[in-house]
Structure 1
Amino acid sequence: MTDNDAATSPNEAGGAFADALTLVRFAVTPLVMALIIWQWPDPQVAILASFLFIIAALSDIFDDYFGGAARSAVRRLGYLDDVADTVLIVGVLTALSIVLWQNGLFHWAFAVPVIILILREVVVGLFKGYELSRYGWPDNILSNLKAGLSMLGTVLLVGAPWLTQMLDRLRAGSDNAMAVYDTVSPAIWIIGQGFLWLAMIASLLSGYKILTHIRDEEVSDP
């Protein structure tokens, strides 16, 4: 009996729904990028962009819940799962980089983790996608940590304009309210960058392990 024969109708339905959620990330990514390039950091635009990003990030959680792992027998488009994550992170970080560059704000503290994360995602997620689908790579703590940290850092950066306004309103409740409004807090942006630095470290370690795994499998493959 094959894996497909063993799959029950509910499982097949869950796999189809999981595939649809994977496609959501492909659909939402250009919308978020367009909003950022169009009028970010306008707070209203940032709210919409960060809300859409959260939807895309949640789709990554729920596609695994409903359809199982990317290599599950009930998923026809499971091989696109990691690619969709790559497209989401790379696309949104690229859009942010374009806007910051145009406004002379492309600082090294943002540029270093972003460039390394993008290069890692492209090399491992796209160029090695076929090999990963052949040899497989079980989820590991570093890959999951990288994905979680990069998405958390990215959503904080995208939502920084309106999150900063909210934070400053809370700070304005102090006795020195005028001084608070005179100086915008960089806390949200700094925290978002911090998560990207942590994601960068996890991505380098997990990327090395993945590429080493693929090399070893190719050597042992008859």
Structure 2
Amino acid sequence: MFNLANKITMFRVLLVPFVVVLLYFPSETTCLLAFFLFFLASLSDLVDGFVARREGMVTSFGKFLDPLADKLLICSVLIMLVELGWAPAWVVITIICRELIVTGLRAMAADEGIVIAADKYGKMKTVLQMFALSPMIIHYPLFGYDVAVIGEILLYIALILTVFSGGNYLFGFYKNWLQQDEPK
């Protein structure tokens, strides 16, 4: 349970409160620090998966913790961006609702012995959300450029992919559920 890959994932979870606190007191310095920690946490998402697969450290705990860590990181930052007035609430609500629905579906499926793994759209969604949130966290002009606008555009693209991947999970869950109900 406490292998290297899972420790890296737990490190990502531990970074979340620091990112939130830094964003709670926004300035150019705190936003850059929050970005650095968010970037480090996002990078750890790639590293933990690589380590787990390469070293044969894939565990049930890791399969549970890794997507949870992603959701904690992304949803916490999204909520702070709404609090700061830097992101539209309806976008954040849509993204968080999708995350709750997919998590609920996974829990129901697991109860039936069905594993619904992250698919390529879910993984792409997470990466795109991380790319979108990074410039939104920086928020202040960087080298004379308003990077937050880039983040906002990417956030809307991520929203579309988020809704699509959520629909894909719903379809997959429904299909698996029908197969379970077929007489044998």
TM bin (shorter chain)? 0.7 to 0.9
1:111-190 maps to which residues of 2 (within 5 A)?
Answer: 111-125=89-103, 127-131=104-108, 133=110, 134-161=113-140, 164=141, 166-168=142-144, 187-190=146-149
- Name the TM-score, length of structure 1 as normaliser: 0.71
Contact 1:18–1:75 at 8 Å: present in 2 too? no
Identity, % of aligned positions: 25
- 1:97 aligns with 82
> Which structure would you say has the larger Rg?
1
Contact 1:32–1:92 at 8 Å: present in 2 too? yes
Contact 2:13–2:72 at 8 Å: present in 1 too? yes
Q: Secondary structure at 1:167's aligned position in 2?
A: coil
- Pairing partner for 1:83 from 62, 65, 68: 68
**1:137 shift after superposition:** 3.3
* Aligned residue identity for 1:215: Y
Q: Secondary structure at 2:84's aligned position in 1?
A: helix
**1:34 shift after superposition:** 1.4
Runs of 4+ in 1 over 4 A off after TM superposition: none
Residues 116-156 of structure 1 deviation map (CA, whole Å, 9 limit, x = unaligned): 1122122213x233245542334433222211110011111
Q: Secondary structure at 1:210's aligned position in 2?
A: helix
**Structure 2 regions of 5+ residues with no counterpart?**
none
- Pairing partner for 1:196 from 130, 146, 155: 155
* Aligned residue identity for 1:196: L
Q: Secondary structure at 2:3's aligned position in 1?
A: helix
Query: Does 2:32 correspond to 1:29?
Result: no
CA distance in 2, matches of 1:131, 1:89: 23
CA distance in 1, matches of 2:36, 2:136: 12
CA distance in 1, matches of 2:150, 2:59: 36
Q: Secondary structure at 2:128's aligned position in 1?
A: helix
Q: Secondary structure at 1:128's aligned position in 2?
A: helix
